[in-house]
Amino acid sequence: MKPKLKIIPLGGAGEIGKNMTLVEYADAILVVDAGLMFPETDMLGVDIVIPDIAYLLERREQVRAIIITHGHEDHIGALPYILPRINVPIYATPLTRGLIQVKLKAHKLLKDATLCTFEMGDTIQLDPFTIETFHVSHSVPDGVGLAITTPRGTIVHSGDFKFDPSPVDGQLTDFAKLAALGGRGVLALLSDSTNADSPGHTPSEKTIDESFARVFALAQARVIVATFASNISRIQQVIDTAARFNRKVAVVGRSMQDNVKMAMELGYLRAPENTLIKMEQARKYEPKEIAIVCTGGQGEPTSALARMAARDHKQVTLVPGDTVILSAAPIPGNEEMINQTLNNLFRTGADVYYSEFMNVHVSGHASREEQKLMINLLRPQHFIPIHGEYRHLVLHARLAQSLGIPKENVFVVENGALIEFDDQGAHVEHNAVAASDVLVDGLGIGDVGTTVLRDRHHLSQDGFLVALVTLDAHTGEIVFGPEIITHGFVYTQAAEVLIQGTKQIIIETLSNGARGAGQSAKLKDVLSQFLYAQTKRRPMVIPVVTEV
Amino acid sequence: MKPKLKIIPLGGAGEIGKNMTLVEYADAILVVDAGLMFPETDMLGVDIVIPDIAYLLERREQVRAIIITHGHEDHIGALPYILPRINVPIYATPLTRGLIQVKLKAHKLLKDATLCTFEMGDTIQLDPFTIETFHVSHSVPDGVGLAITTPRGTIVHSGDFKFDPSPVDGQLTDFAKLAALGGRGVLALLSDSTNADSPGHTPSEKTIDESFARVFALAQARVIVATFASNISRIQQVIDTAARFNRKVAVVGRSMQDNVKMAMELGYLRAPENTLIKMEQARKYEPKEIAIVCTGGQGEPTSALARMAARDHKQVTLVPGDTVILSAAPIPGNEEMINQTLNNLFRTGADVYYSEFMNVHVSGHASREEQKLMINLLRPQHFIPIHGEYRHLVLHARLAQSLGIPKENVFVVENGALIEFDDQGAHVEHNAVAASDVLVDGLGIGDVGTTVLRDRHHLSQDGFLVALVTLDAHTGEIVFGPEIITHGFVYTQAAEVLIQGTKQIIIETLSNGARGAGQSAKLKDVLSQFLYAQTKRRPMVIPVVTEV
């Protein structure tokens, strides 16, 4: 009997972010993507979230390579955290490799990494896997999907795709290859579900050119365009429009500058001679001769755009007459931050355009009609929706069923599921593999878990109150305190009466109660009840009774 | 010289929520609306936000009345917090009054309140104000705009409006009255800016009927529709569609039940006989004969819908085959909560429809073409955009200018501004009146301010660490400790080395340093630096050195 073929999503199944999928055959594991996710609102104090790679660490010798579909954070962002623990070769197209290099360099990890480059359309042989790569259009150039052939058949991973009929880089999604793969037979398709709730087709990136042109034509002074640092296509559109309207372009924001430099060198960004200038040179030109492209598409407080909005940017002070374009869509959870940045931008007096108000951004992902086309071209035996929250996976699964894929061959799975193909067919085991969110906070990777988050949540809502009292070990009399330390609970300068009442309760409780083991627990109960009755708030109450 | 006429927004100018506008002439103040706002993400632990009424409290005798434009939370929700401090008559239409009564009753404030009812179209005389009321269509019936005439002219307040050509209650926005007011002359228009970034027209509420019918026609078992408790029009649409498809309707969720009962009694909700049933009776019917309308349009964790999604609702357990419609749009900041609820709903196996995926919700507010129509009908001398975040106010202001209102007569102002009309014309003074956010947290109204919120934010990100040590007052030797209490910083069970290191630092610092005043501050610095170097986190560090 041939070995089983296994597919294991470690990230991206049930969430939009931290993508990582394993394909395993015999004693070989291929890792597709290694992305990060930005923390959800309830992950207080967390910097980023990465996939759990325990399964890989236990099988370190079996891991052949990590192959990256494209250079976005949710596909490459975990590499700096994973490589120090499992340093296997990374395969990527030239631009994707460039984006990875910029990232690894910033983490001082570039020297030790093994980066292997392939061109879109290349076939990579990593026994027992034969990996055919094919271009898919997305909001960054040089993205690919993968057809991974094993002795048990071919698994197709769509990558992040759309069927843009007029992409910025002119490179269409590779219909011919998809049709050929469909003709040869596809065992299973793993397909991008991000927009499974969006009817129709995603508008082409080209439609943004028209909006940019309208805005540039009206602009009387500088035009500032904010987007993701890795959105090379959008940066190209800014450069093209600026050149058309005789403006120079300055790039602001370190990560974007690094990416632009790299993409120019590799030939993925093109600019007419003397179009790109440094921000320091901008004062030599009239405002009407300047365009600026910068980071801040999510309104991140440290980004160039948010600093400009808060009048806190060293190089760019916005004035009435300037025009700002926010060319990005909010990642769920960032809406308030973006709205705040937009409001601040308007406060500067600038003219501001954003996607509700004008078509200055389109999604990089396929809508439902394009998702159908992917399925129809490949006609897979099995269908596994990935890269989506649970609702997107279900909607995508139902879409596949409506196209004739039998219900029993469609697998809605979340991170940690194991999908096995053997002689009997395909089986799913949910929660087969450890695949929890690994939280990165400062230097800590994975040490912040439920307990710490629960405490942070509790503290965030009602703060804490530490009650200190020192007793004489012999007599039990109070020799110090009660002292109250409280933060985040009440404004202490206005809560004198409450604090005095709290101290009184402590004295009464200690004089009535038995000393010893149960004392702190009792004090905690009594204090918590008292404080809730007085305030209807529940601070974290910590009594500390010491004896000297 | 005639007295000045003053307009002062205390809420809703620069935000969508807690609406309150003052119109003041001579020694009389009229208050329009008294709404609440849901806390922004950075208002940690806060329950709700209400307007600052200090200005009113200082002029208690001058306040004639509070007149309410319609019965939504952001227009009536502050009443329970304001009335105990300033108990003036409240004027409202019958349904709005009913919604206020339900609310005041829940707060045990109904008995002491003075509620005065008027019908849409009535004129109310409250010297020196003559208040003509006119119907505006919105997502709740019985809403009005106001034309407030004073000896200095007429101020028109649009209320929350749209020009729905086919509203659920059949009541159009009163074009004729608006045109007549425009003919008589309007000194200033205050107009709803919510959708100032939405081009075109807001779709009619009637379009939802078609979507509901499509979903009901397909549904094989129960249909559950979630919306706002006060969205009487949407509830009517559920009842109508259910009746059409021979389903009974059960209302789930206390606040919605109270509102439905009241609206039925007043005749604002109509249901064919025997259509409404209690949830307990539902088991007598087939699933296909049942529709449920419930609260939870924002995915609020305590709402009926969120409980159903979490399989935690006492009366309704969702099963595959059930259909759920989320008929609401997210308030900014609630997107993640709603997405989580949607994902959980899909996990039950139910068919779920929401506004991205199908047209099951429309906005209650005018889009740009309707905003233009309001301005063109009234042709005001001055224009003041209200009910919007800053960006909406600016976009609405520019829209008014584009229609010919001179720039110097268009006032973009935020809460606390004073707009004065006198013989010389109109003047604006920004920040003239106290109008900060008043935060309600438990029993506390306004005691949570910057300090408490800053502490909560700090604690939410990195927790705290209290270092306790007791010294002998004579020798300075340590007689107790160092003890470390820490929450929300590190997982202490895995941080033994860090805690030991922290204690060591304390001992060293105390043995090296001078005792007395600077000791705690020094200890705090040394510990903070040590902890940051070890973890790249910055917990709130609180050293407590006592002497006995």
- Point out the residue among A335, A458, A495 whose CB comes nearest to the CB of B332: A335
Q: Do B346 and A41 touch (CB under 8 A)?
A: no
In angstroms, the Cα distances linking A151 to A1, A61, A177, A350 are 11, 21, 20, 60
Band the pLDDT of A547: cuts 50, 70, 90: confident
- Residue positions counted in chain B: 548
What pLDDT shows up at residue B513?
67
3-class secondary structure, B444: strand
Q: What is the mean pLDDT of residues A20-28?
A: 97
3-class secondary structure, A191: strand
Give which of B100, B125, B120, B124 is closest to B161, Cα–Cα.
B120
Q: Do B460 and A463 touch (CB under 8 A)?
A: no
- Which has more confidence, A41 or A225? A225
Q: Give the H/E segment covering residue B251.
A: strand B248-252
Strands B425-429 and B418-422 turn out to be antiparallel
pLDDT at A334 > cutoff 90: no
Q: Do B447 and A198 touch (CB under 8 A)?
A: no
Strands A444-445 and A438-441 turn out to be antiparallel
What pLDDT shows up at residue A516?
67
What pLDDT shows up at residue A417?
98
Paired strand residues for B109 = none
Q: Is A352 on the interface with B (CB under 8 A)?
A: yes
Q: Is A175 on the interface with B (CB under 8 A)?
A: no
What pLDDT shows up at residue A492?
81
pTM here?
0.93
Rg, chain A, Cα only: 28
Please report, in angstroms and rounded to a whole number, the separation of the first and last CA atoms in chain A. Answer: 74
Q: Do A197 and B40 touch (CB under 8 A)?
A: no
Q: Which residues of A fall within a CB distance of 8 Å from B461?
A: 44-45, 456
Using CA atoms, how far apart are residues A505 and A499, in angstroms rounded to an integer? 10
Distance, in angstroms, between B510 CA and closest chain A CA?
Answer: 19
Distance, in angstroms, between B395 CA and closest chain A CA?
Answer: 9
Which tokens hold the place of B259? Answer: 């509102």
Q: Which residues of A fall within a CB distance of 8 Å from B537?
A: 45, 441-442, 444
Single-letter code of the amino acid located at B240? D
Classify the C-alpha dihedral B282-B283-B284-B290 as positive or negative: positive
Rg, chain B, Cα only: 28
Give which of B276, B282, B267 is closest to B243, Cα–Cα.
B276
What pLDDT shows up at residue A514?
60
Q: What is the mean pLDDT of residues A433-459?
A: 94
Q: What is the mean pLDDT of residues A526-542?
A: 96
What pLDDT shows up at residue A513?
67
Average pLDDT over chain A reads 94
**Cβ–Cβ < 8 Å for B396, B194:** no
CATH number of the A206-353 domain: 3.40.50.10710
Yes or no: domain A5-200+363-445 corresponds to CATH 3.60.15.10: yes
pLDDT single digits (tens) A73-96: 999 999 999 999 999 999 999 999
- Point out the residue among A344, A356, A537 whose CB comes nearest to the CB of B441: A537
Band the pLDDT of A10: cuts 50, 70, 90: very high
Give which of A133, A186, A139 is closest to A160, Cα–Cα.
A139
Q: Is B548 on the interface with A (CB under 8 A)?
A: yes
Share of chain A above pLDDT 70, in %: 99
CATH number of the A463-547 domain: 3.10.20.580
Distance, in angstroms, between B151 CA and closest chain A CA?
Answer: 34
Q: Do A542 and B485 touch (CB under 8 A)?
A: yes
pLDDT single digits (tens) A128-140: 999 999 999 999 9
Q: Which residues of B fall within a CB distance of 8 Å from A457?
A: 460
Q: Is B483 on the interface with A (CB under 8 A)?
A: yes
Using CA atoms, how far apart are residues A451 and B263, in angstroms rounded to an integer? 46
pLDDT at A512 > cutoff 80: no
The residue in chain A having the minimum alpha-carbon distance to the alpha carbon of residue B453 is A488
- Tens-of-pLDDT digits for all 548 residues of chain B? 899 999 999 999 999 999 999 999 999 999 999 999 999 888 999 999 999 999 999 999 999 999 999 999 999 999 999 999 999 999 999 999 999 999 999 999 999 999 999 999 999 999 999 999 999 999 999 999 999 999 999 999 999 999 999 999 899 999 999 999 999 999 999 999 999 999 999 999 999 999 999 999 999 999 999 999 989 999 999 999 999 999 999 999 999 999 999 999 999 999 999 999 999 999 899 999 999 999 998 888 889 999 999 999 999 999 999 999 999 988 878 888 899 999 999 999 999 999 888 889 999 999 999 999 999 999 999 999 999 999 999 999 999 999 999 999 999 999 999 999 999 999 999 999 999 999 999 999 999 999 999 999 999 999 999 999 988 888 888 888 899 999 999 988 888 999 999 999 999 988 876 666 688 888 999 999 999 999 999 999 999 988 88
What pLDDT shows up at residue A297?
84
Q: How many CB pairs under 8 A join A and B?
A: 197
The ipTM, to two decimals, is: 0.91
pLDDT single digits (tens) A274-322: 999 999 999 899 999 999 999 998 888 889 999 999 999 999 999 999 9
What pLDDT shows up at residue B145?
98
The residue in chain A having the minimum alpha-carbon distance to the alpha carbon of residue B341 is A391
**Cβ–Cβ < 8 Å for B387, B194:** yes
Using CA atoms, how far apart are residues A192 and A198, in angstroms rounded to an integer? 13
Using CA atoms, how far apart are residues B253 and A409, in angstroms rounded to an integer? 39
In angstroms, the Cα distances linking A33 to A91, A145, A366, B348 are 10, 11, 19, 30
pLDDT at A152 > cutoff 90: yes
Q: Which of B193, B491, B496, B532 to mutate to test the interface with A (most CBs of A within 10 A)?
A: B491
Q: What is the mean pLDDT of residues A431-438?
A: 96
Give which of B492, B473, B480 is closest to B539, Cα–Cα.
B492
Q: Which residues of A fall within a CB distance of 8 Å from B456?
A: 459-461, 463, 488
pLDDT at A162 > cutoff 90: yes
pLDDT single digits (tens) A522-532: 899 999 999 99
List the 423-452 stretch of B: residues with Cβ below 8 A of A. Answer: 441-444, 447-449, 451-452
Using CA atoms, how far apart are residues B135 and B93, in angstroms rounded to an integer? 10
Single-letter code of the amino acid located at B161? F
Q: Which of B357, B457, B459, B462 to mutate to test the interface with A (most CBs of A within 10 A)?
A: B459
**Cβ–Cβ < 8 Å for A64, A45:** no
Domain ranges (residues) in chain A: 5-200+363-445, 206-353, 463-547
Q: What is the mean pLDDT of residues A139-145?
A: 95
Sheet holding B90-92, edge to edge: B115-117, B90-92, B63-67, B28-32, B20-25, B5-11, B418-422, B425-429
Using CA atoms, how far apart are residues B137 and B203, in angstroms rounded to an integer? 12
Q: Do B459 and A462 touch (CB under 8 A)?
A: no
